[in-house]
Structure 1
């Protein structure tokens, strides 16, 4: 999301998302879903697609619920354009063009730890693929092609 949540916002976010997931359905069938909030800024929602896959309408419902919550909290939950990366203990968010400039200047490198918002499997999350060196994510090919052999 566009910034880290404060403690009270974390509580509100978890309450709203849990309430939504408790009633989330696709074509009249309940979805087995869960959520996790990491680093106070990455809301991860997963669905057991073997039990019941989400439909386009159910995904739209989640997106709309997150947009409404975002307005309430003053954050953007739905924004795939930025690049999130760790600089020391701080997590920074910049546009892709700005990240490219930082890569060109050497301010960030292929070993900079980035957050990969393209994950689609819980197993990838559990195996630590959310935060990895840029060279081991799509960021490596996009921003450090010559450093990672692409």
Structure 2
């Protein structure tokens, strides 16, 4: 039983965040999560099952975590997960791996995504600010997913994309 509930992962569990370029809802989300669960159920490193879990947020963000205190993920096992997700992108109709977008929550609460240059332009125009909630898809631990994934732009690497404070 290598797959556990996400809440069962220790705070120090290693984490990868995959972000959908467009929202994944309904049957597409169900298909994605079923595929991920099947992959996690059989996920191994050098033949040893990985203690792992996944979480899904805002129809956009998939977190996959591994309790490396139990068993380390290997390069090959990590590559296999990335490949499985890439292979499923056509089924769900959007990218999950390596889209490089910037994600934020607009005033209505909807998650938006654009390229870094577009986000910088939105900041220059005042459409986003240091108070805008942003998502840090570069986090690498379960505790960061639980406590610091969404935060004001001023408290994230996104601050580099904002105009200098006056």
What is the TM-score of this pair, normalised by structure 1? 0.92
Q: Which residue pairs with 1:49 in the alignment?
A: 68
CA contact (8 A) 1:80 1:117 kept: no
Quote the offset at 1:85 in angstroms: 0.6
Quote the offset at 1:79 in angstroms: 2.4
Cα pair distance change 1:145/1:102, threshold 3 Å: closer
Q: Does 2:35 match 1:16?
A: yes
Note the aligned Cα RMSD (angstroms).
1.4
Q: Does 2:164 match 1:146?
A: yes
Give a deviation string over 1:38-84, Cα, whole Å, max 9, x none: 01110110000111111111111000000011111111011251101
SS in 1 for 2:88: helix
Quote the offset at 1:10 in angstroms: 1.5
Structure 2: stretches of 5+ with no match in the other structure: 1-19
2:78 alignment partner, one of 59, 62, 72? 59
Question: Aligned pair count?
Answer: 146
Moved over 3 A (4+): none
Give a deviation string over 1:82-120, Cα, whole Å, max 9, x none: 101111221111001100111112211111111110111
Q: Which residue pairs with 1:102 in the alignment?
A: 122
Give a deviation string over 1:16-56, Cα, whole Å, max 9, x none: 00000000011111111100110111011000011111111
CA distance in 2, matches of 1:103, 1:126: 27
- Following superposition of structure 1 onto structure 2, how do residues 22-37 of structure 1 map, counting pairs within 5 Å? 22-37=41-56
